[in-house]
Chains A and B, each alone.
Chain A
Amino acid sequence: MTDVTAGTTTYRQALHDGLRDALAGDERVFLLGEDVGRYGGSFGVSRGLLDEFGPERIRDTPLSESAFMGAGIGAALGGMLPIVEVMTVNFSLLALDQIVNTAASLSHMSGGQFHVPLVVRMTTGGGRQLAAQHSHSLEGWYAHVPGLRVLAPATMDDARWMLAGALRDPDPVVIFEHGSLYAMEGPPPGPGPVDLDHAAVRRAGTDVSLIASSQAVHVALAAADALAEEGVSAEVLDLRVLRPLDTEAIAATVGRTHRAVVVDEGWRSVGLSAEVSARITEHAFYELDAPVARVCTAEVPLPYAKHLEDAALPQPRRVVAAVHAMGLGG
């Protein structure tokens, strides 16, 4: 974490700082997961924390996703504030039962008697040639489930501060960190906190709304740069919070631009982009000058070969092409 230009930081460092702060600020907070301790976190986010906080609070687990997720849930019920790290969203499927059937259900199922103040952090996304079992974007699966809050930090500020907000939430929160963003450099984050309820306009525009989250926000921003050169003014809306979705912000941006392209690294079918598109139809249909367009990952398990992976993932040129197809620029 020293390979950074002076005056800048990385997304990884911002996450690390948020985690360190959380551990220092509350004795009830602890981290558990595979390789979070001695190894330093499979993506280096927790490096150094074992020395500072000790093995009770930086707790390496066996490769037992279901058991350590359940242990996190039980510990949350028992009065702790656990942060469970899962290496990738793909592996989290081994813990999906615990997350959906227990963490998300317990409050309602118990008539509001029990609460699960659990935070789950996991990596998501492709772009690193890791092939199908390490690259998927299943945020939409989690965003489908009542009882969870689902966050997707795309910026340095969100990487730094979302965790603190998540730990204040008495209910389970799942935070998706995009694998391709860890090395992203940028100016140090501002002072927190950040809110966990609202989407954010990352670039204002008047002709078309590019609605995205996580790494796709950066795809949308690159597309907006390219469109600006053609004289098309694109607004970029970062959803930030995938559950509950900020319907008002989605409707508002469409109200300003009258056109929308949803950019989503998930698959198109039955996914997050479908939900956003439906919200636009429900809440801003009469604002639309064109059908909502979607740029998603191709309907394939992500391939290893770079040219195929690139072709499968949303790219700025595909977003630009979608805007051209609406009759703008080109």
Chain B
Amino acid sequence: MTAAPDGVGLLRAMLRIRRLEERCIELYSAGEIRGFLHVYIGEEAVAVGVMQALTPEDDVVGTYREHGHALARGIPARAILAEMLGRQEGCSHGRGGSMHLFDAGTRFFGGNAIVGGGLPLAVGLALAARMRGERRVTACFFGEGAIAEGEFHEALNLAALWRLPVLFVCENNQYAMGTALERSESQTDLVLKASSYEVPAWSVDGMDVEAVAAAAAEQAAMVRGGGGPCFLEARTYRFRAHSMYDPDLYRSKEEIARWTARDPLALQTAVLREEGALDDAGLAAMEADVAAEMDDAVAFARAGTLEPVEDLERFVLTEVPAA
């Protein structure tokens, strides 16, 4: 297991996601990133907190809003940005883009743009771990919108029935695209829904990274101990629109202001200042480090090469001989 989270490290991990995505927005506005781009700004505490509870042997299944999951899991910013620029140096060889970041080395299984589609996949990864006698945990991120999909219910039932080691992490940012939870669910208590499958479930303040880390550590230990799946609801909020195409007409300025006042980076910075663990100089140094990392990543992505069109049909089928 990982050591107790280091508060400064948690802030730094969140800051890297925030600054990476701010660069993404710039690159998108400049036309260098195309397609759909869903940023995670405001939700960084969830990925960072949960990732603390995982080991390199564990599996991670992300969503289409997965830049934060990917970076927190350890995929280099260079490979992430190169992917978004469609370069062959990208973590999915330019085949996936923003919504389909993959990395075998860090056991990062997407990057899944089908809402709810990753849940059964996570169940299967956990089943394989069980059958192979490996102690891996599979962490599966999904939004609260996925709870309206049948796959949420099918997957929780199956995971609980077979007591599989899955940590289900629901990032409840209150909106499925533009549809608020109370306009899409008859029962808005998501913990109650998960509990109905006999899955230990509770909520955590998704803006408080240390709280998320503590809750995830507790659940991951339960899962790892053979207790079957757990469900963690992280209550969070995305500060930006659903995607770069979204005019964001469905939320009030007051509501957005209420949540941005609880910016997870600001909250953690205040905690660290209070503790005396971080001062202005420390914060400035961290900012400068992260800015340098992102400068380097943008330069790397821009300098990346385009895969030859002759290779278009590669990777559809496996190229290595069967074992």
Known: A113-B104, A171-B318. A75 touches B154 (CB 8 A): no
A128 CB to nearest chain B CB (Å): 29
Q: Which of A69, A106, A107, A113 has the most CB of B within 10 A?
A: A113
A67-109 interface (Cβ within 8 A of B): 67-80, 82, 97-98, 101-102, 106-109
Bound-complex Cα distance A73 to B120 (A): 8
Q: Which of A74, A97, A109 has the most CB of B within 10 A?
A: A74
Known: A56-B131, A67-B157. A73 touches B96 (CB 8 A): no
- What residues of chain B lie closer than 8 Å to A64, measured between beta carbons? 154, 157-158
Count of A residues near B, CB < 8 Å?
42
B206 CB to nearest chain A CB (Å): 26
Bound-complex Cα distance A108 to B131 (A): 27
* A80 partner, pick from B128, B138, B316, beta carbons under 8 A: B128
- What residues of chain B lie closer than 8 Å to A109, measured between beta carbons? 92, 95-96, 100, 102, 110-111
A94 CB to nearest chain B CB (Å): 8
Task: Verify A114–B102 contact, CB threshold 8 A.
Answer: yes
Q: Which residue of A lies closest to B112 (CB)?
A: A102
B100 CB to nearest chain A CB (Å): 5
Count of B residues near A, CB < 8 Å?
48
- What residues of chain A lie closer than 8 Å to B316, measured between beta carbons? 107-108, 146-147
Task: Verify B95–A110 contact, CB threshold 8 A.
Answer: yes
- B290-323 to A contact mask, C-beta < 8 Å, 1/0: 0000000000000000000000001111111011
Task: Verify A74–B318 contact, CB threshold 8 A.
Answer: no
Task: Verify B131–A111 contact, CB threshold 8 A.
Answer: no
Chain B at the A interface: SS class: loop
Task: Verify A67–B104 contact, CB threshold 8 A.
Answer: no
A170 within 8 A of B: yes
- What residues of chain A lie closer than 8 Å to B111, measured between beta carbons? 109-110
A8 within 8 A of B: no
- What residues of chain A lie closer than 8 Å to B21, measured between beta carbons? none
Q: Which residue of A lies closest to B105 (CB)?
A: A113
A210 CB to nearest chain B CB (Å): 30
* B102 partner, pick from A102, A111, A170, beta carbons under 8 A: A111
Task: Verify A66–B154 contact, CB threshold 8 A.
Answer: yes
A30 within 8 A of B: yes
B244 within 8 A of A: no
Bound-complex Cα distance A69 to B117 (A): 11
Bound-complex Cα distance A113 to B319 (A): 10
Task: Verify A70–B124 contact, CB threshold 8 A.
Answer: yes
- What residues of chain A lie closer than 8 Å to B158, measured between beta carbons? 61-62, 64, 67-68, 71
Task: Verify B150–A66 contact, CB threshold 8 A.
Answer: yes
Task: Verify A113–B103 contact, CB threshold 8 A.
Answer: yes
Task: Verify A67–B120 contact, CB threshold 8 A.
Answer: yes
- B175-210 to A contact mask, C-beta < 8 Å, 1/0: 000000000000000000000000000000000000
Task: Verify B94–A111 contact, CB threshold 8 A.
Answer: yes
- What residues of chain A lie closer than 8 Å to B70, measured between beta carbons? none
Task: Verify B96–A110 contact, CB threshold 8 A.
Answer: yes
B132 within 8 A of A: yes
Known: A102-B121, A168-B322. A79 touches B128 (CB 8 A): yes
Bound-complex Cα distance A78 to B320 (A): 18
Task: Verify B125–A77 contact, CB threshold 8 A.
Answer: yes
Known: A66-B120, A68-B158. A111 touches B91 (CB 8 A): yes
Known: A71-B120, A111-B92, A113-B103. A78 touches B132 (CB 8 A): yes
- What residues of chain A lie closer than 8 Å to B129, measured between beta carbons? 78
- B103-125 to A contact mask, C-beta < 8 Å, 1/0: 11000011110100101111111
B155 within 8 A of A: yes
B216 within 8 A of A: no
B90 within 8 A of A: yes
A109-145 interface (Cβ within 8 A of B): 109-115, 117
Task: Verify B122–A74 contact, CB threshold 8 A.
Answer: yes
B151 within 8 A of A: yes
B111 CB to nearest chain A CB (Å): 8
A246 within 8 A of B: no
B126 within 8 A of A: yes
Q: Which residue of A lies closest to B150 (CB)?
A: A66
Given contacts A111-B93, A111-B102, A112-B318, 18 further A-B contacts (CB under 8 A): A67-B119, A71-B121, A74-B126, A74-B127, A74-B128, A75-B124, A77-B124, A77-B128, A78-B128, A97-B114, A109-B96, A109-B100, A110-B102, A112-B93, A113-B102, A113-B104, A114-B109, A168-B322
What are 29 A-B contacts defined by CB distance under 8 Å? Answer: A62-B157, A67-B119, A67-B120, A70-B117, A70-B119, A70-B121, A70-B155, A71-B123, A74-B121, A74-B123, A75-B128, A76-B124, A78-B124, A78-B132, A98-B120, A102-B117, A106-B110, A107-B315, A107-B317, A109-B95, A109-B96, A109-B110, A110-B104, A110-B110, A110-B315, A113-B104, A147-B316, A147-B317, A168-B322
State the B residues within 8 Å of A (CB). 59, 90-96, 100, 102-104, 109-112, 114, 117, 119-129, 131-132, 138, 150-151, 154-155, 157-158, 161, 314-320, 322-323
